[in-house]
């Protein structure tokens, strides 16, 4: 029980000691945000997207012309087919009116008001239908790709859905569910749910096949084998290791999906399975104006531009998000 001599403090080996953090710890998401901020395209895309959303949400409160208002009596003839004001720049004889900066349609309805209220529906349908289709597609793709037992069944299901003719499917769905849905969600709500689910369940197959293809290759890679060998549960394996690596095709599918959903919605309304005919949406505005595009190019230009801008901004947003979420890029 002798007191032992005080041990000499071992010399610190630089390589073995932890460096003392010079900055307070940062969450992963702050890093993501930093990286995202540096992505110019993503910032511009994000801002554009916010502006479009604001315009269609707040716009109608500021620009309070009713999208369905029709001029009465003599006014009707005066106000129909008004050109946008900028046309006056090169055409003095053009019929323009400051009360209708983007002009009116052949029934005298204000184009700006219709663009804004149309955008609400189109963006809402586009985003929700796309989310639904991506969720379904990713889920089915990952499950089929990772769990071999499910592969056969799920991919044959995908083949079946790919083969089903869209139009009869829509007819049957609207026959079976329209009245029930209207009873639950009201007329417009019911149509919204019907349209979104129809687009969602008829467009997930591409995503599913693409995700499955990638997963089939990924799951044989070393890092997945490593994760498996240390006993990672399949759920975490999928979420932490597989999903981040199939993000980019999913992002592409998502951006393309919005465009498809907005256009499909107009096709559905045109066939009579979508919103009531006096309910403007971008796709419908575009469709209705095609016959008159050489007389009134603005009527195709604005809705076409709106759809393209939305898709473009979501595309850049997606690009930035993917870069920001990729640790290999973020580290540089």
Partner 1 sequence: MLTFTIRRLVLSVPTLLFISLVIFLLLELAPGDPMAQVPLTVPPDVKEKMRQALGLGEPIHIRYVKWLIQFFWIEPQVLFDHIFGTSFADGKLRVISWQTRSPVMDLVVQRLPQTLWVVGVAYVLAVIIAIPVGIYSAYKQYSIFDQFGTFITMIGFSVPPFFTGPLMVVIFAVNLHWFPSIYDTTLVVDDLESLGKQIRQMFLPVMVLALQITAQISRFMRASMLDNFNQDYVRTARAKGMSEYTVVMVHVLRNSLIPVVTVIALGIPSIFGGAIITEQVFAVNGIGQALISAIQANDLPMVQTLTFIFAVLIVVFNLIADVLYGVLDPRVRYD
Partner 2 sequence: MKIKTLLLGAVACAALAPAAFAERGKDGNVSIIYWQAPSILNPFLSGGTKDIEASSLVLEPLARYDDKGEMVPFLAEEVPTIANGGVSEDLTTITWKIKPGLLWSDGTPVTSADVKFTAEYCMHPEGGCAQLSFFDGVQTIDTPDDLTVKVTFNQPKPNPYGPFVGGQSPIIQKAQFENCLGSKAPECTQQNFNPVGTGPFKVVEFKPNDVITLEANTNYRDPDKPAFATVTFKGGGDATGAARAVFETGEFDYAWNLQLAPDVIAKMEAGGKGKAITGFGPLVERIEVNLTDPSPSLDADTRSTRKAPHPFLSDIRVRQALSMAIDRELLVEVGYGQAGKPTCDLVPVPDNYAAKNDFCFKQDIEGANKLLDEAGWVKGADGVRAKDGVRLSILYQTSTNAVRQDFQALIKDWWTEIGVETELRNVSASVFFGGDPGSPDTFQKFYADVEMYANTFNGTDPQQYLAAYRCGQEPKPESQWQGENINRFCDPAYDALIDELARTGDIAKRGEIAIKMNNMLTKDSHTIIGLVHRGRVSGQSNTLGGHVLNVWDSELWDAANWFRKQGS
Which stretches of the chain bind partner 2, using CB under 8 A? 68, 70, 72, 76, 80-81, 106-107, 109, 171, 175, 179, 187, 270-273, 276-278, 288, 290-292, 294-295
213 lies in the binding site for partner 1 (CB under 8 A): yes
Residue with tokens 């006993």: 231
> Taking CB under 8 A as the criterion, which residues in 230-259 touch partner 1?
245, 248-249, 251-252, 255-256, 259
CA distance 177 to 190: 9
Minimum CB distance to partner 2 smaller for 38 or for 106: 106
Minimum CB distance to partner 1 smaller for 74 or for 328: 328
Contact 289, 307 (CB under 8 A): no
Contact partner, 107, from partner 1, partner 2, none, Cβ < 5-8 Å per class: partner 2
48 lies in the binding site for partner 1 (CB under 8 A): no
Minimum CB distance to partner 1 smaller for 96 or for 286: 286
Segment 288-291 long-range contacts (CB within 8 Å, at least 24 positions apart): 288/105, 289/105
Q: Return the residue of 47, 69, 106, 221 that touches partner 1, per CB under 8 A.
A: 221
CA distance 173 to 197: 10
42 lies in the binding site for partner 1 (CB under 8 A): no
Tokens of residue 260, six digits:
């498809």
226 lies in the binding site for partner 1 (CB under 8 A): no
Minimum CB distance to partner 2 smaller for 71 or for 101: 71
| Direct distance between the N- and C-terminal alpha carbons of the chain, in angstroms, rounded to an integer | 57
Contact partner, 179, from partner 2, partner 1, none, Cβ < 5-8 Å per class: partner 2
**Taking the CA of residue 190 as centre, how many other CA atoms within 13 Å lie in the half-sphere pointing to its CB?**
17
Contact 264, 270 (CB under 8 A): no
> Taking CB under 8 A as the criterion, which residues in 172-211 touch partner 1?
172, 175, 205-206, 209-210
CA distances from 316 to 34, 35, 43, 48 (A): 16, 14, 8, 10
For 303-319, the three-class secondary structure string (H helix, E strand, C coil) is HHHHHHHHHHHHHHHHH
Minimum CB distance to partner 2 smaller for 206 or for 299: 299
CA distance 176 to 186: 16
- The residues pairing with 104 across neighbouring beta strands, listed in sequence order, are 110
Binding window for partner 1 (CB under 8 A); candidates: 3-11, 26-34, 92-100, 217-225: 217-225
Angle between helices 28-38 and 40-62 (to 10 degrees): 90
104 lies in the binding site for partner 1 (CB under 8 A): no
Supply φ then ψ for residue 162, to 5 degrees. -65, -35
- In the complex, the residues that contact partner 1 under the rule CB under 8 A are 41, 148, 152, 155-156, 158-160, 162-165, 167-169, 171-172, 175, 205-206, 209-210, 213-214, 216-217, 220-221, 245, 248-249, 251-252, 255-256, 259, 262-263, 266, 283, 286-287, 290-291, 293-294, 300, 304, 307-308, 310-312, 315-316, 322, 326, 328-329
């Amino acid at each position: 029980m002798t007191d032992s001599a005080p041990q000499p403090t071992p010399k610190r080996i630089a390589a073995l000691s932890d460096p003392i953090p010079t900055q307070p710890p940062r969450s992963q998401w702050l890093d993501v945000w930093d990286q995202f901020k540096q992505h110019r395209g993503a910032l511009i895309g994000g801002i554009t997207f916010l502006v479009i959303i604001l315009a269609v949400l707040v716009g109608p409160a500021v620009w309070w012309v009713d999208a369905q208002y029709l001029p009465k009596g003599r006014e009707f003839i005066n106000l129909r087919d008004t050109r946008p004001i900028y046309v006056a720049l090169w055409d003095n004889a053009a019929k323009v009116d400051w009360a209708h900066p983007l002009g009116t349609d052949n029934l005298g309805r204000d184009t700006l008001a219709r663009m804004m209220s149309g955008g609400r529906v189109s963006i809402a349908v586009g985003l929700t239908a796309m989310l639904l289709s991506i969720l379904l597609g990713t889920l089915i793709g990952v499950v089929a790709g990772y769990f071999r037992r499910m592969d056969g069944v799920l991919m044959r299901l995908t083949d079946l859905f790919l083969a089903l003719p869209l139009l009869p499917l829509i007819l049957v769905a609207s026959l079976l569910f329209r009245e029930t849905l209207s009873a639950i969600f009201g007329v417009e709500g019911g149509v919204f749910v019907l349209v979104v689910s129809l687009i969602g369940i008829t467009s997930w197959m591409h995503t599913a096949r693409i995700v499955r293809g990638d997963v089939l290759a990924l799951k044989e890679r070393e890092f997945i084998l490593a994760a498996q060998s240390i006993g990672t549960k399949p759920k975490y394996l999928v979420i932490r290791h597989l999903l981040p690596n199939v993000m980019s095709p999913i992002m592409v599918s998502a951006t393309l999906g919005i465009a498809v959903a907005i256009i499909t919605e107009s096709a559905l309304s045109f066939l009579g399975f979508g919103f009531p005919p006096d309910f403007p949406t971008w796709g419908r505005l575009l469709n209705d104006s095609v016959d008159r595009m050489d007389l009134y190019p603005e009527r195709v230009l604005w809705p076409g531009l709106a759809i393209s801008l939305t898709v473009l901004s979501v595309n850049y947003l997606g690009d930035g998000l993917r870069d920001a979420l990729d640790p290999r890029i973020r580290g540089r």
